[in-house]
A and B are shown apart, each in its own frame.
Chain A
Amino acid sequence: MPSFLFVIGITACVCLFPGTAFSKSTHDNDYLVELQQQARQLKLHEQRVWHLLLKYKPRLLGGVVSEADGMDFFNAPDGKTNPESELAATLAGFFLPADKPAADTEHPQCNFPARFKWLHQQLQFDATRLEIQACERLERWVSELDPVGVTLVFATYYLNNPASMFGHTLVRIDSRDRQGERKLTNYGANYAAIPDTDNPFLYAWRGLTGAFEGRFAIFPYYTKVQEYNNLESRDLWEYELDFTEAQLNTMLLHLWELGGTYFDYYYFQENCSYHVLSLFEIARPELRLKDQFFFSVIPADTVKIVMAQDNLVKKVVYRPSIVSVMNQKRHLMTSEQQRVFQAIAKEKILLDADEFTRLPDGTKTLLLDAYMDYLQYQSMRQHSDHEVKIPYPVLLARSRLQTDNAAHTPSLHFSSPPHPGHGADRFRIATGHNDREPFMEFAYRPAYHDLMARDAGYDKDSEIIFMDFKLRYFLESERVRLDQARFLSITALNPYDPLLFKPSWRFNFSVDTLRDRDCGYCNTFSGSYGRGIAYRPAFFSPLLLFSFLDLKTDFSGHLKRDYRLGGNAEIGMYYDFNEQLRIKLAGNYRVFVLGEHKRFFTTHAVTRYALTQNLDMRLEFNRYDHNNEGIFAVNYYF
């Protein structure tokens, strides 16, 4: 039993010493003082475990402060900032007579079982002098969950949603009798904000300033799978972790303590992934997972940290989304079958059409199964309240076809797990030459992924570049110029899919150099927004073609009338020779019709060779109107 240690501790004491009623308050007090002294001598309040239990973290100006914000979490009035008095008060709480707690509240021993367990280990409570309480609700909770494992679950990106590349993590508690094919029925634990507004501006503001309450919650894992896999169509990656049952018991007792409190939710620091890591640390205090994060905790990075620990991850399991499941089947179809399938999905032909009925049963099964996935995906996207949107005739037709076991359940991955991805920060150093002189280039950006980088671990068709600052030092004119500052640039390429059509789009907001002019590398504020199409011949084809039409504007004192506004048409391609080598070729035609008028071509050729997960080299040739430049760059990710 996982709850073994805990339950045995309690029952043994209760059974052995049924007559605890004899204890007198003075004796209690003596023993309490004794324990508090002992704790002080051992300096228990300075130990890492105590700080993990109370969520203490160092303050900038010395001292500590607990991340927990619900005051019920503490026993001492100054417990939020004072580990020592909190420890003394916690011990005192344990001496509260069994009949003392008010209605609907639990005894401190039952409210803080993880602290009780640890302090008991450190101080060896004498059960004749400290009445050990029976915690009925807690015991039922622990024995119902009965964990033999814990799994870190990472939800990948949405289709067509670059920002979701940041991902989301939650924890699955793997119970003893919910193994194997019953894994979906396990409980999940999630830390999430409880938003009180639908207004996006307020939402962002409150998320950043910690104005939302964040709480731990527990739910059947299958509800989350429905939500992520089916409703949002995000693949899940499950990292099954290796903890002993004793460690899991501690984690669970700690989770119980957390369940009763709340935290101010900080979108970037104290977010879902941060608190998930703290659960692992409490189970194995020697793990130092949170220490590596200073500014922000990106969910994918937490997976990398967990993956980097020795012997922590036992197994990685892929749980494809409904769209991925459908695409796995589509991938198996011949082009003729694809055509029939699309005709059915688009309701151009019915299931009694000759084109379908003449197919062999195996093919019909494949097509119908894919069709039902498609309908399920569509119905999830509409408001559908327990109503099956798969038409009854389709279900009936499928039920008359004998099951073709495992014939169409390939395990093709339509997303990649986050752990082999490159780091989010990037430092770049480059050397190049333009028509006049050689230059050196230094650049840094904190986030996140560009389309020329290795795409393992990322959505391979999306790009988010944030705060990418690039300086150039020109060797002959001995000048340092801000070459480019991309504040935010997002590209979502959505390869054309006749079934699930979505346009590609991109936008960019930056300070750039007016590269088509000879104005001494003068700068401009630049913004653009565009829509386009992309095309990939097959799901796993190395070729991706794209084309965009953008609205583009520049604001600069070096332009006549200080601005120009116009359009940009681009056509280009990406091609992967292998995992290391990728090229991009692209050409643009720009027409500025307002402000300063100008028409010109730009062309780009970029080659990337990835040396390791976090290091790549690039060779670039760019031509802007009549100005050329060539650059050799090395990018390091961390």
Chain B
Amino acid sequence: MSATVLGTRPQNKAPGTLALGLSRIGYETRLYFRSPDTLLFTFFFPFIMLGIFTAAFSSSGNIGANPDGTGGVSVGTYYLPGMLAAGMLLSGVQNLAVDIAGEKSDGTLKRLGGTPLSPLSYFLGKIGQVFVTAILQAGLLLLVARLVLDIALPTEPEKWATFAWVFVFGVITSAFLGIALAAVPRSGRSATAVVAPVVLVLQFISGVYLQFTTLPEWMQNLASIFPLKWMAQGMRSVFLPESFAAAEQSGTWDLPWVAGALGIWLVLGLVLSRVTFRWIRRDA
């Protein structure tokens, strides 16, 4: 880059990749909260589902109760971990896949590709936006659970440490998978139709809407291939009593497996998003 055509110009330093990434996070997060579709189907969706489940099933008593009706946990308590996991998946996969597919087809990416914005800064912006919005979503869910649904939250620090790593791992994995999935829809308009069923089916087989431990074994095994099952299981280990571990597939919370499965999906998502992402669909 030597031949300066116009000679004397103030030679300011180009903005750094990290600084631009931070600027992108602010910009992306602001736009996230200005999109009504995203707010309804990503941000508030777990709240709506938690409300519906609590209202629908509370009259049938506690889940996991003893034969004499004592013990167990309330319906809200039982569904809270699943909704937290669903929020992580929606914030990453659904949000980014639909968002980036739309940006691809409406010309946003083409415009950005013509500017000196580094793709790395762009990714930082997307992943940062997912992080910021997922934290707000989870925080608000816990607040609603505690204050509105009167769900007792764990007090042990080690439980919250588990919550932290499952959350961070799960959200980053979901974000990468969202970027990778954005390559599939052929147009922005078809993006929701492609992404929503994938996300919905995963939620049904992974123990978000249906009690995972009551699903047939083949479905449990199928769900174990995908990351959502492990996010939900990690969250159950935080919010459900130890006695519930016995009902899991191996009779324990299996946290090392949760970490392993999320780790594998994280790497896979990173590789896939790196390979599939283009500013524009390049011709041959």
Do the two chains belong together in a single complex? no
Residues of B within 8 A of A (CB): none
Residues of A within 8 A of B (CB): none
